[in-house]
Chain A
Amino acid sequence: MSPSSLKLKLFNFVKKASPTRGVEYLLTWIGFSIVALIIFSAIFAPYVAPYDPTKRVGDLLESPNTRFIMGTDGLGRDIFSRVIWGSRTVLYITFLSIAITLICGIPLGLLAGYVGGAVDSILSLIMDAMYAFPGLILAIAIAAALGPSEITVAIAIAVIYIPTYFRMVRGQVLSLRESLFVEAARAIGAKDRTIIFKYIFPNVITSIPIVLSLNAADAVLTEAALSFLGLGPIVPPTPDWGFDLRMGQVYLAAKIWWPSTFPGLMIVLLTLGFSLLGEGISEILNPRLRR
């Protein structure tokens, strides 16, 4: 696919993505709205959150009421404010981990696909081994080894997804490598580097957004899981959804559900948002199984 037909596809995508056509578009819009809303509230946290999330502002464990719409936690802090501020940590780590994944995964995939041979075999073997291993457990190992901090958690999460991008990029490079327009480029004497960046890379880029959204969804879940297990980046009293959920567990038996439920709900919502976004984009760019 040439660069100009790529622009055409983008144009069609934007044109088609109106919320009035079909279930897919609706879902995409819902996903997009959720993610946008949460990002917005993360950026503008100081203005959106009514209270300081680290300070006690009410009685302990107040149930949701007009002053504290999500109630207060075991230390009298407003849960809603904690939830708002907590989104910062999650989003920061998510995007950081995605950045790391992209920086590592894509070039390696390009390299392996284009160069082939022993380099490819070795890299593929390593990546396949990593891909098969349970992501969370790998993340647990890395987070445990590197110690708790935002960067280390981001690295732990990033590592899980590198094989996915690697495989995808490598696969595309392999099929594109032999395609006509690349042959033509070689025939006119283009350098390898030019071929990779000008011809192969733009095509590979189109399949990334889908994986990106799902990657983000996964990253949110993994970050929450690590925090929940006590391996997260958080030093209390910084708010973090996974950590707060864990802290709230002890009160459940007493029917005090709000300290755990609301942070957990946010985790699910953000993940859902990214998932729907990813699904939707995927349906729109490559509609499958039409009548």
Chain B
Amino acid sequence: MVSLRVYIVRRVLLAIPTILILLTIVFLVMRVAGDPVAAILGAHAPQEEIERIREELGLNKPLYVQYFDYIWQLFHLNLGRSLIWGQRPVLVEILEHFPATLELSIFAFIVSIIIGIFTGAYSAQKYNKPVDHMFRIYGIITYSLFIPWFGLILQLIFGVYLGWLPTGGRIDPLMEPKHITGLYVLDSILTFNIPSLISSIKHLILPSITLGIYLSGIFTRLTRSNMLEVLRKDFITAARARGLPEGTVIYKHALKNAFIPILTMMGLQFALLLAGAVLTETTFSWPGMGTFLTERIFYRDYTTVQGTIVFFAILVVSVSLIVDLLYAYIDPRIRY
């Protein structure tokens, strides 16, 4: 059993090869794409143009040199420049679109946790009763919901037919709050901008629920099965034998213990969250990294595409690292 400090160091060190591998994979995949320059400029561009751009991008160097350049640049937080529209630095463009995805992800995550954990815990309490079966089926169905379709149905019902909520976009035009963090809800609150707050929340509801429900299924099932396992443990019976109220037994003793694998799952779910966010954004015309990525693929802006995927990779590894550290903090047994 080691101290938290040692564990943190070890864990961070482990993250490094992981990132390197992912970066290498991205690099290799993008190189397989063939000559991007011809794709961008079109087949009829003059040879000198093609050569010039190739040289600019360093594509005429041998592969391993390109690789080292790539890693070296990343070290300096240089994700390259876009191949279209004035060649803005990729990193800058990503950071412009990132808050939108972040905001959607946070709200969707909250929705999924709340629905997932409480239905899971409740389901475990009512083991084998009809409610339990219902929630188990719920878990299976939510996972199969194709996000664009589910989002579409919600848009139809609440947007088109009932007209209660907007069907796309992030906020009504010209209503953006002053930019502090890029998260509209937060910025609206910080600047006391009520109309913006209302508008941004209204636009958040459908996409968050779509993505949130999709993710919640896994939490429901996981919470339920972990709770069932924990509820069988001796210390639960022992807690009851001490006359503790049932609420304390379930929500304090059982849930806390069941929670740890759920926390790990949350870390793993982050990857799913990102993937789901990409689909949700395209469905709801949400101007985040998902729409950004698909758009740039369409335009064959291959440096941006590469840069974006690299960004995703670093993001995922970082989040996984943070989750593991949190995990070690909460469960004192884990620090091997």
B172 CB → nearest A CB, Å? 16
Once A245-B149, A249-B152 are accepted as A-B contacts, the answer to whether A134 and B297 lie under 8 Å apart by CB is no
Once A228-B148, A267-B146, A279-B140 are accepted as A-B contacts, the answer to whether A141 and B305 lie under 8 Å apart by CB is yes
Is B156 touching A257 in the complex (CB atoms < 8 A)?
A: yes
A264 CB within 8 Å of chain B: yes
Is A228 touching B18 in the complex (CB atoms < 8 A)?
A: no
Q: Give which listed residue, A129, A132, A141, contacts B268 with CB less than 8 A.
A: A132
The distance in angstroms between the C-alpha atoms of A231 and B297, with both chains bound, is 9
- Determine the residue in chain B with the shortest Cβ distance to A222: B275
Query: Which A63-78 residues sit within 8 Å CB-CB of chain B?
Result: none
Is A137 touching B148 in the complex (CB atoms < 8 A)?
A: no
B274 CB within 8 Å of chain A: yes
Is B320 touching A132 in the complex (CB atoms < 8 A)?
A: yes
Q: Convert A118-142 into 0s and 1s, putting 1 for each residue whose CB lies closer than 8 angstroms to a CB of B.
A: 0000000110111011111100111
Is A125 touching B312 in the complex (CB atoms < 8 A)?
A: no
A interface: dominant SS: helix
Is B225 touching A260 in the complex (CB atoms < 8 A)?
A: no
Is A132 touching B297 in the complex (CB atoms < 8 A)?
A: no
**How many of chain B's residues have a CB under 8 angstroms from any CB in A?**
55
Is B293 touching A140 in the complex (CB atoms < 8 A)?
A: yes
Stretch touching chain A among B26-34, B54-62, B188-196: B26-34
Once A136-B275, A261-B153 are accepted as A-B contacts, the answer to whether A146 and B32 lie under 8 Å apart by CB is yes
A37 CB within 8 Å of chain B: no
B180 CB within 8 Å of chain A: no
Residues of chain B within 8 A (CB-CB) of A267 are 146, 149
The distance in angstroms between the C-alpha atoms of A212 and B320, with both chains bound, is 26
B interface: dominant SS: helix
Is B33 touching A144 in the complex (CB atoms < 8 A)?
A: yes
Q: Convert A229-256 into 0s and 1s, putting 1 for each residue whose CB lies closer than 8 angstroms to a CB of B.
A: 1110000000000100110010011010
Residues of chain A within 8 A (CB-CB) of B225 are 288-289
Is A137 touching B146 in the complex (CB atoms < 8 A)?
A: no
What total count of A-B pairs have CB within 8 Å?
A: 140
B167 CB within 8 Å of chain A: yes
A108 CB within 8 Å of chain B: no
Q: Which residues of B contact A (CB under 8 A)?
A: 17-19, 21-22, 25-26, 29-30, 32-34, 128, 133, 137, 140-141, 143-150, 152-153, 155-156, 160-161, 167, 225, 228-229, 268, 271-272, 274-276, 278-279, 282, 293-294, 297-298, 305, 309, 312-313, 316-317, 320
Closest 7 CB pairs of A and B: A264-B149, A136-B275, A145-B33, A271-B144, A134-B275, A134-B271, A129-B21
Q: Contacts A133-B312, A289-B225 known; list 16 others, CB within 8 Å.
A: A23-B133, A27-B137, A125-B17, A129-B19, A130-B25, A132-B268, A134-B272, A137-B309, A137-B312, A144-B297, A146-B32, A217-B144, A221-B144, A225-B146, A245-B152, A288-B225
Q: Could you pull out 29 A-B pairs where Cβ atoms are within 8 angstroms?
A: A27-B140, A125-B18, A129-B25, A132-B18, A132-B271, A133-B22, A133-B271, A136-B275, A137-B275, A145-B29, A145-B30, A146-B32, A147-B34, A225-B146, A228-B148, A229-B279, A252-B156, A257-B156, A260-B149, A261-B152, A264-B149, A265-B149, A267-B149, A268-B144, A268-B145, A268-B149, A271-B143, A275-B144, A289-B229
